[in-house]
Structure 1
């Protein structure tokens, strides 16, 4: 059922849900469908930053007609169809849309900069019939700042709104805060644009971490976090904006904590997670509380505190149960399973794994948190592999790790490296040194793109296990190449 091709006489009418697009998504979650959009874009040489929120905006009708980059991608994904066949309004009916209105997480409109390249596709006057280009819009493939340079991304993410003076004052040219107290004094009241900029910073950090790992991001991400809490101290006149600011600051604290966690700074990570948990408790935000406990459980497992991991995961499940997200409950059960494995409690681990699988099989839900776009079958397999590895069941761990690496969306480069490193270690400890060396080589191939101390530590452990097997096929080449890899500092 395609949308009508008759131009609207009322451009300000409420958004009409795009039921056709929702039907095309099928059983896939918004995050899984967004990943398919990004894959299709790469196939035709486009670059789009599609995520679950963009899919939601399309399905709710907020985006009535996509820009030309997304049009090319969608028509590639669904050959033989037109935009109206996909449920979009024709360009002729979308006449010069102005500011985007209201829902949570929305950025304030920013005028596009004047083009300077006369040969560029963006030169000349803007097309009044396409989705307007926002120079900071993470969903526009022509975003001139989407160059994955961490300092630029994080700085600009906090300067999208005209009222975000705290960010401009607190971020130096390399993304470091020079005088956070001066930044705080420069703000009178925080507004919706500041909340939007804060939410965007969280998305940018997650996107960069998925692609490149944590080591190059952590130091730069600390400055936006200080700016975020300065925004909270500045206060706001509207409760809705205050709620968004608190939720955004908490999610940013978790994101920065994860960067610390993945780069081996466990004490820093623990502090950031505790900060997020305190923010959740202050505002009564059950979703943020569950997320903070989830990451705390993961950290406790990695830091060798398995009993704390179990308790934190159980606390997360209590907070998350009313939220109505089976996939979130599945992930939290896996966190608990990891704790039981660390305690060498095989029965407890197997029970938690069974709950995780049962919750996962219920499928995606509208209540799934935005931050869970990474959690699919590949992550399920990868976390189960880690449990069996901790219990010393190397063959079983290797089967799950191999499946995780095979299932992972190519967009998540860091996770592919992580699962393959897990596979290499399981194979090495399971007495299959030649296969372990082959997997280790694949990880080394990815280290130019991925900077993660956690992955490097895993690979170093694999190399030590393989040392007595240097004469096995491929092992010597792996060890020699691994020895030349610069160590993370």
Structure 2
């Protein structure tokens, strides 16, 4: 059925003109969409019943006060969940997709978020196993045993949707409450990869890419929650999957995350090497933004080594690549990489080099540019800003920003951000008698006690 509501919103603009307006709006909120006239045509024809999350954020930004229903779209749960079933024939495959997509959502703020997305409560791990024909585990790997089966669209789409859901929940709530819940869909994805008997190369490639991206998403949850050894293992798993599949985009992503982890764990030279390896892989992907991010990872490594010249050169290359704009080949996972992230990563470089005032300027820009939807990143940039201000000799302002971070941490669970804020409090201790600093230190101490820190 044609989407006449969306067509009316386009007005007198051509599909190409409207697509350009969508891309402009995306840039304004730091989102990445490769919208063109063909995409607009598919929406208006009713082929796209519900946009992905990136497009949803852009459309709601363009038309404030309207809902997806007002834009002519169907509710997400009727497209992707149980409500989408129309025949008994599709029931089993839809059930499998539903289970894998939701297997990690079982408690706390995660369940609240899942319900708000129309996904409901998740089944038990055993229920997920039964749905995929899992009869137990196989050896020390704890990999579910899945009967050999012909791979279908439902299984592949379930893996891809699980990746998107994990990223969405991490954007809003941070990693700490998600990591353990994400392990089951990851194990199931690799079990499917092992058990698949499909002869369709395109389907197998999608499953390899989906499983690899899922490993990276779970690895990031481990990384952000301070489980660095687990993160390294998941990143290595994704890299191996990329190389087996001959997937340069997945390989570049794996090296990007590995470089980030190396920098965070005090191995800056490894960070440089991993970032450079990622850039070599990314040469096969027509995405300047992907190369920009990898070059920023390299800059972070040089900063960690105290090499100001190397860092500045890498930052210059990264900015030039970023200014080339978005491209059709930009990976979906890079939706977070807008101007705010560019500024945030540069702030981290100057911070590592001890140029606190300069770091604070970039961190402040990052917080100003960040789309509030990315709650975790907003908390991260503010934590960076608070620390830079404290070290730059602005304790009162640092404490005020720190209060903002504590507000955000009521919604976000991220050990990484908590660790950053704790380091800031140590810098501010000499100013604990200040009427501006004291309330922040007291509140932070109280919050740490309530979390069991």
Structure 1 length-normalised TM = 0.73
Distance 2:196 2:187 in 1: 15
Q: Which residue of 2 aligns with 1:61?
A: 42
Which of 1 and 2 has higher RCO (CA within 8 Å, sep 6+)?
2
2:412 equivalent to 1:446? no
Deviations along 1:30-88, one digit per CA (max 9) or x if unpaired, are x76795xxxxxxxxxxxxxxx848999843615624769999x9699469xxx9xxxx9
- List runs of 5+ in structure 1 lacking aligned partners: 6-16, 36-50, 92-98, 101-105, 114-134, 137-146
TM-superposed CA distance for 1:321, in Å, is 1.6
Q: Which residue of 1 aligns with 2:297?
A: 335
Q: Which residue of 1 aligns with 2:390?
A: 428
* C-alpha RMSD of the superposition: 4.1
TM-superposed CA distance for 1:148, in Å, is 4.8
2:206 equivalent to 1:209? no
TM-superposed CA distance for 1:470, in Å, is 0.8
Q: CA contact under 8 A between 1:166 and 1:187: conserved in structure 2?
A: no
Distance 2:386 2:174 in 1: 19
Cα pair distance change 1:57/1:300, threshold 3 Å: farther
Q: Which residue of 2 aligns with 1:279?
A: 241
Cα pair distance change 1:251/1:107, threshold 3 Å: farther
TM-superposed CA distance for 1:241, in Å, is 1.1
Distance 2:240 2:130 in 1: 23
Q: CA contact under 8 A between 1:170 and 1:227: conserved in structure 2?
A: no
Count residues in correspondence. Answer: 404
- List runs of 5+ in structure 2 lacking aligned partners: 6-13, 88-96, 99-108
Q: CA contact under 8 A between 1:25 and 1:33: conserved in structure 2?
A: no
Distance 1:476 1:211 in 2: 29
Deviations along 1:222-280, one digit per CA (max 9) or x if unpaired, are 11100000000111322211111100000000000000000001000000000000000
Greater mean alpha carbon deviation, residues 362-371 or residues 246-255: 362-371
2:357 equivalent to 1:395? yes
Cα pair distance change 1:306/1:76, threshold 3 Å: closer
- Larger helix percent: 2
Distance 1:219 1:226 in 2: 12
1:300-319 paired onto structure 2 within 5 Å? 300-319=262-281
Match of 2:396, SS state, is helix
Deviations along 1:436-479, one digit per CA (max 9) or x if unpaired, are 10010000011111000000000000001111111224111000
Q: CA contact under 8 A between 2:315 and 2:346: conserved in structure 1?
A: yes
Greater mean alpha carbon deviation, residues 368-377 or residues 236-245: 236-245
Distance 2:251 2:112 in 1: 28
Deviations along 1:93-118, one digit per CA (max 9) or x if unpaired, are xxxxxx99xxxxx99993179xxxxx
Deviations along 1:150-204, one digit per CA (max 9) or x if unpaired, are 89689979x99xxxx99832689xxxx9934495234523211100000000000
Distance 1:459 1:239 in 2: 48
Q: CA contact under 8 A between 1:209 and 1:414: conserved in structure 2?
A: yes
Cα pair distance change 1:178/1:466, threshold 3 Å: farther
Q: Which residue of 2 aligns with 1:193?
A: 154
2:223 equivalent to 1:223? no
Distance 2:178 2:28 in 1: 25
Cα pair distance change 1:378/1:465, threshold 3 Å: same
Q: CA contact under 8 A between 1:433 and 1:469: conserved in structure 2?
A: yes
Cα pair distance change 1:269/1:286, threshold 3 Å: same
Q: CA contact under 8 A between 1:218 and 1:256: conserved in structure 2?
A: yes
